[in-house]
Amino acid sequence: MTILSHKSVPGQRTPSSPDMESDAKERFMANVLLIGHQPDLYMHLSRLFADGGHSLKVVSSLEDGIRHCRASSCQLVVLEEGMDNALEGIPRLRSTQAAPQVVVVAERYNPERGKAALLSGALNYMPKGKAPRAITTLLERLPSFGGNGAEGPDLRDFGIFGSSAALRAQFETIARSSNADVNVLLQGETGTGKELFARAIHRMSQRRGGPLITVDCASLPEHLVESLLFGYSQGAFTGAAKSRVGLIRQADGGTLFLDEVSELPMSLQKKFLRVLQERRYRPVGGGSEESSDFRLVAATNKDLQEMVREGTFRDDLLYRISTMRVLLPPLRERGLDTIEIAEHLLQSRAESNGGKVWQMSAEFRARLLAHPWPGNVRELVNVIDCTLAVAGDGDMLFAEHLPATIHAGMLPQSSRPWQGRTPTRRSTDVGHHGMHDRAGKMAHGVANGAAPSHASHNPSQGPSHGRPHDTADEAAAYATHAGGAHPDALPSFREARREALEAFEHAYLATLYEAVGGDIRQACSLSNLSRARLYELLRKHAIME
């Protein structure tokens, strides 16, 4: 691990007088880590940091940077885009104990790569030429961005479970804006937790003493939606025996949560727009206007921009409801959050039923991580409840306990028989049985606590003929190494588990790719992964560029 630490150099002014030292103490002084191999960027940053009191260290690899963030306090990471797996490393850096902000510096600016970096949890993306000055300016604002992820509200306090950078980035956005009384639009697939985020927004806001009124726009009958929202006066229509206060009025002093706002009828959208602009409305059949002081939080699983283009949603209403947008990531993009949520569900079910806490076997965890979860967290909750209902005796959950729809979906779909190919044939001749033989050995290794090899596979070179790794030996070697390490150098249990599961993922994909000879269609059939997801994983693990 190569680490260079900034020291003052000849010709540079350093805080030496008492007045200068006092000024330095009043300024925010950050620990900055540069991950890269371009000395010119390091020299530019070190010169600019000299007067600011900031410390600058540089490491030459992403893995060294992650280890540094685990063991040391670090507020900002400057990550060169040219590093191997740079964008994939952003969530890993953000999820370390230091939880630093990450800035990505590109040799050649690419807007699409920039978008991917920001969605992965980066604070900013900038070209190398502008980076030194921009980073120096950014350091002055860093405290306002929550430079230390350990500060602020805990997601678990609001019933939200997960540690992925994608989830935490969105939560930090609403936490930092808790005092801003602006309209918020939550966007995400069904089951991603939009209602939980709406409750969190309300509970963190200055309106938490008021009511939170939830309106499911998809369940409102179109002929009654106006009267339910605005209320109505006695005799306004047949059956209106007495006046009724609408949901908008009930939200006075609190938060109005419109779930599935995309289902709001066009006939009502213009009227609701006026309510948002003036906070005044007229009940159905009423003679005088009423007012309601509320904050709006809206949610949808649809693309409202596309609906605007189709003419089914008003563009002026979209702008009004989306002062702040929060994009909730699907469960399949949240990595080990699946396991964390499952563990919480098992614990809570045991507490509510007064029973034992079931443990998850390695293959059970692997099934959970491999499933695409089209229903997201809501589907995971149902799967865990179904699994516990049929688990019977024991205290360990195995893959066979999962619902048949998931367990069967993980089984290979190919029915091609074993052709008896020898190991000297090309990888395209590797049969179905060979795939299962290696996968079985690999699963056996993981189930016994060992991490598969990280060796990548180059399809142009055919099958790998290196010495096979003994998983038991690897596990013993790791235990021996860990036993002699200083406690501060050890990763957390969650980090170690994540690395082991990533190793399993890499080994499985490398074996799969070799077995099918690069045939993506067959790989999708065997793994039960979509083509897009498989491509994503193969690139992530550098198995296919």
Q: Mean pLDDT over residues 457-476, rounded? A: 38
Q: Mean pLDDT over residues 254-279, rounded? A: 92
Q: Is the pLDDT of residue 416 over 50?
A: no
Based on the fold, state whether residues 362 and 307 are members of the same structural domain. Answer: no
Q: Mutual orientation of helices 362-370 and 432-447 as an angle, nearest 10°? A: 120
Q: Report how far residue 275's alpha carbon sits from residue 290's, in angstroms, rounded to the nearest whole number.
A: 10
Based on the fold, state whether residues 217 and 133 are members of the same structural domain. Answer: no
Q: Is the pLDDT of residue 393 over 60?
A: yes
Overall domain count for the chain? 4
| 397: nearest Cα among 406, 159, 353 | 406
Task: Pick left, alpha or beta for residue 518 (phi over 0 → left; psi -120 to 50 → alpha; otherwise beta).
Answer: left
**Helix (H) / strand (E) containing 376:** helix 376-390
Q: Report how far residue 321's alpha carbon sits from residue 318's, in angstroms, rounded to the nearest whole number.
A: 5
32: amino acid identity, one letter: V
The reported pLDDT for the residue numbered 425 is 35
Q: Is the pLDDT of residue 131 over 60?
A: yes
Q: Which domain range does residue 383 map to?
A: 332-409
Q: Give the residue, 310 or 72, on which the prediction is more confident.
A: 310
The reported pLDDT for the residue numbered 77 is 92
Which of these ranges, 144-153, 279-288, 524-533, has the smallest mean pLDDT?
144-153
Based on the fold, state whether residues 302 and 348 are members of the same structural domain. Answer: no
Which of these ranges, 101-105, 113-117, 492-496, 523-527, has the smallest mean pLDDT?
492-496
Q: Report how far residue 307's alpha carbon sits from residue 313's, in angstroms, rounded to the nearest whole number.
A: 5
Percent of the chain residues past pLDDT 70, beyond the cut: 75
Cα separations in angstroms, 146 against 72, 100, 140, 318, 527: 17, 9, 12, 29, 40
Tokens of 35: 């991950």
Which pLDDT band, with edges at 50, 70 and 90, does 380 fall under?
very high
Q: Mean pLDDT over residues 258-279, rounded? A: 91
Percent of the chain residues past pLDDT 90, beyond the cut: 28
Based on the fold, state whether residues 303 and 197 are members of the same structural domain. Answer: yes
Cβ density class 178-195: b for 16+ within 10 Å, e for less: beeeebbbbbbbebbbbb
Q: Mutual orientation of helices 493-515 and 362-370 as an angle, nearest 10°? A: 70
Position 62 in a domain: yes
Which pLDDT band, with edges at 50, 70 and 90, does 13 fall under?
very low
Which of these ranges, 34-48, 231-245, 359-373, has the smallest mean pLDDT?
231-245
Q: Mean pLDDT over residues 210-229, rounded? A: 87
Cα separations in angstroms, 419 against 219, 333, 434, 463, 468: 56, 37, 10, 18, 23
The reported pLDDT for the residue numbered 537 is 84
Which pLDDT band, with edges at 50, 70 and 90, does 316 fall under?
very high
Q: Give the residue, 303 or 92, on which the prediction is more confident.
A: 303
The reported pLDDT for the residue numbered 50 is 73
Q: What is the pLDDT of residues 23-37, one digit of tens each?
A: 434 556 788 999 988
Q: How far apart are the first and last CA of the chain?
A: 27
Q: DSSP 3-state assignment of 326? A: strand
Q: Please check whether residue 56 is in contact with residue 84, taking contact to mean a CB–CB distance below 8 angstroms.
A: no
Which of these ranges, 56-70, 245-259, 442-456, has the smallest mean pLDDT?
442-456
Q: Report how far residue 229's alpha carbon sits from residue 330's, in angstroms, rounded to the nearest whole number.
A: 31
Q: Report how far residue 363's alpha carbon sits from residue 357's, in angstroms, rounded to the nearest whole number.
A: 18
Based on the fold, state whether residues 181 and 324 are members of the same structural domain. Answer: yes
Cα separations in angstroms, 443 against 365, 439, 440, 508: 11, 6, 5, 9
186: amino acid identity, one letter: L
| Phi, psi of 396, rounded to the nearest 5 degrees | -130, 130
Cβ density class 54-85: b for 16+ within 10 Å, e for less: bbbbbbbbbebbbbbbbbeebbbbbbbbebee
Based on the fold, state whether residues 168 and 138 are members of the same structural domain. Answer: no
Final residue in a domain of this structure, among 329, 345, 369: 329
Q: Is the pLDDT of residue 312 over 50?
A: yes
- Residue that is written with structure tokens 């001749």 in the block: 429
Q: Mean pLDDT over residues 239-268, rounded? A: 88
Position 442 in a domain: yes
- The mean of the pLDDT values for the chain is 77
The reported pLDDT for the residue numbered 215 is 92
The reported pLDDT for the residue numbered 240 is 63
Based on the fold, state whether residues 252 and 325 are members of the same structural domain. Answer: yes
Position 152 in a domain: no
Task: Pick left, alpha or beta for residue 266 (phi over 0 → left; psi -120 to 50 → alpha; otherwise beta).
Answer: alpha
The reported pLDDT for the residue numbered 285 is 77
The reported pLDDT for the residue numbered 446 is 39
Bridge partners of 232?
244, 284
Q: Report how far residue 421's alpha carbon sits from residue 460's, in angstroms, rounded to the nearest whole number.
A: 20
Position 421 in a domain: no
The reported pLDDT for the residue numbered 504 is 84
SS3 labels along 119-173: HCCCCEEEEHHHHHHHHHHHHHHHHHHCCCCCCCCCHHHHCCCCCCHHHHHHHHH
Q: What is the pLDDT of residues 354-364, one digit of tens each?
A: 888 999 999 89
Based on the fold, state whether residues 314 and 229 are members of the same structural domain. Answer: yes
Which pLDDT band, with edges at 50, 70 and 90, does 448 fall under?
very low
Position 394 in a domain: yes
Q: Is the pLDDT of residue 41 over 80?
A: yes
Q: Is the pLDDT of residue 453 over 60?
A: no
Based on the fold, state whether residues 247 and 336 are members of the same structural domain. Answer: no
Based on the fold, state whether residues 229 and 304 are members of the same structural domain. Answer: yes
Q: Domain of 403: which CATH number? A: 1.10.8.60
Q: Domain of 59: which CATH number? A: 3.40.50.2300
| 193: nearest Cα among 237, 233, 158 | 158
Q: Is the pLDDT of residue 399 over 70?
A: yes
Q: Mean pLDDT over residues 57-62, rounded? A: 90
| 193: nearest Cα among 376, 384, 385 | 376
Final residue in a domain of this structure, among 112, 145, 178: 145
Position 545 in a domain: no
Q: Is the pLDDT of residue 428 over 80?
A: no
The reported pLDDT for the residue numbered 17 is 44
Based on the fold, state whether residues 179 and 319 are members of the same structural domain. Answer: yes
Tokens of 187: 């966007």
Position 415 in a domain: no
Position 453 in a domain: yes
Q: Is the pLDDT of residue 333 over 80?
A: yes
The reported pLDDT for the residue numbered 3 is 47
532: amino acid identity, one letter: A
1: amino acid identity, one letter: M
The reported pLDDT for the residue numbered 376 is 95
Q: What is the pLDDT of residues 151-184, one digit of tens each?
A: 457 888 899 998 887 788 788 888 877 788 889 9
Q: Is the pLDDT of residue 435 over 50?
A: no
Q: Domain of 313: which CATH number? A: 3.40.50.300
The reported pLDDT for the residue numbered 211 is 96
Query: How many Cβ atoms from other residues are within 10 Å of residue 298's Cβ?
Result: 27
Based on the fold, state whether residues 179 and 315 are members of the same structural domain. Answer: yes
> What DSSP string describes 16-44?
-SHHHHHHHHHS---EEEEESS-HHHHHH
List, in sequence order, the alpha helices (H) in 322-375: 337-353, 362-370
Q: Mean pLDDT over residues 511-519, rounded? A: 83
> What DSSP string describes 492-519?
PHHHHHHHHHHHHHHHHHHHHHHHTTT-
Which pLDDT band, with edges at 50, 70 and 90, does 74 fall under?
confident
The DSSP 8-state label assigned to residue 284 in this structure reads B
| 89: nearest Cα among 119, 62, 60 | 62
The reported pLDDT for the residue numbered 488 is 55
Final residue in a domain of this structure, among 346, 379, 409: 409
